[in-house]
Amino acid sequence: MLAEGLLGPHSSKTASACIRYTPDRVAAVIDSTKAGRVVQDFLGFGGDIPIVATLEEGLAHRPNAVLIGIAPAGGQLPAEWRQMLVTSLERGLDVWSGLHFFLADDEQLSAAARRGSARIFDLRRPPAGLDVSTGKTRDIDATVVLTVGTDCNIGKMTAQLQLRDVLKQRGNRVAFAATGQTGILIEGWGISVDAVVADFIGGAAEQLTLQAAKDADIVLVEGQGSIIHPSFSGVTVGLIHGTLPHAFVLCAQPSRTRIRNREWVPIPPLDEFIRMHDTLAAPLRPAPTIAVALNTSDLSDADARAAIRETESLTGLPATDPVRYDAAPIAEAIEAFHRSRTPQFASRA
Amino acid sequence: MLAEGLLGPHSSKTASACIRYTPDRVAAVIDSTKAGRVVQDFLGFGGDIPIVATLEEGLAHRPNAVLIGIAPAGGQLPAEWRQMLVTSLERGLDVWSGLHFFLADDEQLSAAARRGSARIFDLRRPPAGLDVSTGKTRDIDATVVLTVGTDCNIGKMTAQLQLRDVLKQRGNRVAFAATGQTGILIEGWGISVDAVVADFIGGAAEQLTLQAAKDADIVLVEGQGSIIHPSFSGVTVGLIHGTLPHAFVLCAQPSRTRIRNREWVPIPPLDEFIRMHDTLAAPLRPAPTIAVALNTSDLSDADARAAIRETESLTGLPATDPVRYDAAPIAEAIEAFHRSRTPQFASRA
């Protein structure tokens, strides 16, 4: 996994999420600034996955593929990684990428892939035949829950993955619908809705939701961006109106007061976010916010617990950090909401 | 201009707008259901532009290009038009298209273009090198006005084109920023923001706004979709947050009570729209709604005037139909707003 200079809980979302959810698949991580240590030292999870300085050193761990573990804004290929990818492909290693720039469309890289009989997987490439949304998700029996957030990169995917595991353990038929490259990599299917033609955001969201609902009573859709993010709010709103969720789980990082890399945008209080999401959902299908997932990874235990209490008091909703603490309070809120809208389940219970 | 079966004020937006604003460029319209008549009979404008049944008949009017005058939802190429386009290209006629499906990428059509030494112009193809938005539009001195609407296809582009003309006549330095294929065709430049990669909606809007502001004191940005449109709200919101307008002009069609082709979505009253747009804009840059443009083309004169009075009474804002009546009330609202935020102009006046 390439994560040069970027291995950390907040700076390399793809890398850290893949290590958290699929550690068995990670042979080694390339980050020359931290070489010689193990992943656990920097992420607090990931065990003894080794960190190496170069591709050459990584090959000693016998990988069969290279994953690009970063997803920079704009999604272009960092120039200094090109030669490393050419070499990987020529040596027969598949390359997995979540960049907006499609590696398979690059002549030099696709030629290298042919020489090495290797494959290029562009996780963000949209499926063929997307179209505009039609509102078909209104016919779904399953309860659809979408995560929404105050900013990018605060845990909208991670919250859903934690909730999926807990809800499954508690005996629910639950599906996770991945809407970004990292979720697709972890789950094995999905559509990167930020990479589709803008008119088809809703259509892609609809298609994902319908597919996830086929074998599930509860569908957890991975949210994207934030309705106040100057660059990504279009994707966020398209996802809300394409998915037509029954309920929202609001995600936030208590320490963050301004949009990351857009410091001119202050983040409003959570109760205001709840009102904004109410306002946007209501004309199509009202969707209450039923719980809050906090990312407290940069707070002490005492500060994290205080932030959770404050959030519960401000919003009147159950709140927790579903990674650091038990995700049950949010899972219970989802179950209770699901029972309330499907009385046949309640009577069976 | 191909507009088979679709020539009418509400069903063929590209065709009717091009006839309205660039009638000198239209040699003939192909619509076999209305052949033998002239455009004026169906649109109420367009004069004696002939309507013909076939491409063969159209050739008698000596065109040098074929324009696809429809933009169906989903933007694919109607199968029955393929042979007509092949023939056109082989005979040396350029083809202009606003479809999501790029004709130049089609092997059969591009081969026909080579045989006929003709060109294919895909108006919706995004420029290379788009990126996410950065918020640079906050540095613009010009007053940026965006049209927003209750639905698609109700006059957000037309309102701006009418206002551009009136504001120009009144001595303002004004620019129109086209965000859709029809606007691009009329104005000669622009980006179809609904066709860019979803993450770049805001970036495309930002680029357009910056370019339009170079030689103008007032920038009129063409709006898209509606914040309550289930399929297109993502584009609408991305455009709002990428443009960061100083003010909105709200567009509506009084006779329309539900979203077209999405009748399960009732259209809320206009004062509620104003509150929703306030809510979405405020966290980034507050933008008041300063006027309302009504499309009354399907109402009697008496009903149209009553609708305008009711709108003014409900919203407390100047309202008019800028196509049917004088656009001055909205133009004056824009001028007054521009003066209020740029006192140096007021003192000069």
- DSSP assignment of B296-341, as one string? -TTS-HHHHHHHHHHHHHHHSS-EE-TTTS--HHHHHHHHHHHHHH
Tell me the two tokens of residue A259: 């949009």
Kindly tell me if the per-residue pLDDT of B10 is higher than 80.
no
Of B164, B242, B156, the C-alpha closest to B207 is B242
Backbone φ and ψ for B238, nearest 5 degrees, come out as -60, -35
Chain A interface mutation, best of B233, B267, B272, highest count of A Cβ atoms under 10 Å: B233
3-state class (DSSP) for residue A240: helix
Average pLDDT, chain A: 94
**Distance between start and end Cα atoms, chain B:** 46
ipTM associated with this complex: 0.91
Domains of chain A: 13-122 (3.40.50.720), 136-348 (3.40.50.300)
Kindly tell me if the per-residue pLDDT of A349 is higher than 50.
no
3-state class (DSSP) for residue B79: helix
Q: Is A295 exposed, middle or buried (0-12, 13-18, 19+ CB in 10 A)?
A: buried
CB B235 within 8 A of CB A198: yes
pLDDT per residue over B24-41, tens digit each? 999 999 999 999 999 999
Q: What is the CA radius of gyration of chain A?
A: 20
Residues of chain A found within 8 Å of residue B228, distances taken between Cβ atoms: 283-284
The pLDDT score that the predictor gives to residue B348 is 42
pLDDT per residue over A270-293, tens digit each? 999 999 999 999 999 999 999 999
Q: Which residue has the higher pLDDT, B78 or A88?
A: A88
- Residue numbers of A between 41 and 100 with CB closer than 8 Å to B: 73-75, 100
Average pLDDT, chain B: 94
- What average pLDDT does the segment B108-115 reach? 97
pLDDT per residue over B297-323, tens digit each? 999 999 999 999 999 999 999 999 999
Q: Is B325 exposed, middle or buried (0-12, 13-18, 19+ CB in 10 A)?
A: middle
pLDDT per residue over B122-152, tens digit each? 999 999 989 999 999 999 999 999 999 999 9
pLDDT per residue over A311-320, tens digit each? 999 999 999 9
Chain-centre distance of CA B90, in angstroms?
Answer: 31
Given an 8 Å threshold on Cβ–Cβ distance, is A242 in contact with B264?
no
- Residue numbers of A between 181 and 200 with CB closer than 8 Å to B: 193-200
The pLDDT score that the predictor gives to residue A209 is 98
The pLDDT score that the predictor gives to residue A70 is 78
The pLDDT score that the predictor gives to residue A8 is 66
Q: Label the pairing between strands A262-266 and B29-30.
A: unpaired
Helix (H) or strand (E) holding B205: helix B201-212
Tell me the two tokens of residue A240: 């809300």
Contact with chain A for residue B180, Cβ under 8 A: no
Kindly tell me if the per-residue pLDDT of B344 is higher than 60.
yes
Q: Which residue has the higher pLDDT, A169 or B80?
A: A169
Q: What is the CA radius of gyration of chain B?
A: 20
CB A291 within 8 A of CB A189: no
HSE toward the beta carbon, residue B103, CA cutoff 13 A = 31
